[in-house]
Amino acid sequence: MGDESQPTSGGSDSEGDQPIVRVVDLSKTYHTDASEPIYACRNIDFEMREREIVALTGPSGSGKSTLLHLIGALDTPDSGVIEVAGEPVTGIKGRRLAEYRRRVGFVFQRFHLLPTLTAADNVIAPLLPYKTSFDRRAKAKQILDAVGLAGREGSLPSKLSGGQQQRVAIARALINDPMLVLADEPTGNLDSQTGEDIMELLFGLRERVGASLIIATHDPGLAARCDRVIQIRDGRVIKDTTRPATG
Ligand SMILES: Nc1ncnc2c1ncn2[C@@H]1O[C@H](COP(=O)(O)OP(=O)(O)OP(=O)(O)O)[C@@H](O)[C@H]1O
Ligand SMILES: [Mg+2]
């Protein structure tokens, strides 16, 4: 078993081995009209290192989105524990929950842009409940520039292509300088070149802001470029493969 624990890419200032994400025996069951409950996540365990880029793969309905929603505290598990940066996520409420959501960027499977808001206002939207010490509009513009949307700050989502809308959704996930980005099929509905650009953008986050990433994807090419692939099926982890570090 590969248990070499030497750090990979340089520049990390993390002290020691605290995982960025720790998931222990996590389960989520949905009860619907169907006679059988749906076991969307079953006894899932994994740990993820800081700055790691993890692909979450598995067939449609295997539980990828459910797991991301649980880690992002958008939904609550039936049992199990989630810790992010050493702090519990499960069971937190109120201020601490709001604080946690601020530190995590979520790119939704469907972009979930607000149709009546411009690109810039969509990017700023997660900041609305908070006071900030910086100029939000300037920061939104800077991030939109970085994702290749310079000059489109004032466009409504309906005037943007699918790939451009996805870039706005990614920009929105970055406005809070997240320590962890959860991206749910970020290239799912995009043509291959646009998908490639979005991938470059996401992978660049590790270098630019030191973020760790979990990317749910059906794209084997994307998964192959991640540090690690966690395959799930019927709500269970069936395979967890870490790529050997390359020079
Ligand atoms: N709110 C819900 N209520 C009932 N069942 C749900 C709910 N959300 C998800 N499910 C069910 O849980 C299972 C896992 O769904 P999930 O969306 O996590 O799968 P997925 O791996 O993301 O699929 P896809 O690749 O199609 O996005 C599916 O059987 C789904 O129908
Ligand atoms: Mg999904």
DSSP for 195-211 reads HHHHHHHHHHHHHHH--
Dump pLDDT digits (tens) for 170-211: 999 989 889 999 999 988 877 788 788 888 888 988 888 889
Q: Which atom of ligand 1 is nearest to the CA of 232?
A: 21
Cβ pair 90, 81 in contact under 8 A: yes
Ligand 1 atom nearest to 218, measured from its CA: 25
Domain coordinates of the chain in residue numbers?
Answer: 21-114+178-242
Q: Is the pLDDT of residue 215 over 80?
A: yes
The answer on pLDDT for 50 being more than 60 is yes
Residue from 57, 66, 68 to probe ligand 1 pocket by mutation (most atoms less than 8 Å from CB): 66
* Mean confidence (pLDDT) of the chain: 88
- What does the pLDDT look like over 85-104, one tens digit per residue? 999 999 899 989 988 988 89
Which residues does residue 104 pair with via DSSP β-bridges, in sequence order? 180
Q: Span 21-114+178-242: which CATH code? A: 3.40.50.300
Quick one: average pLDDT of 224-231? 95
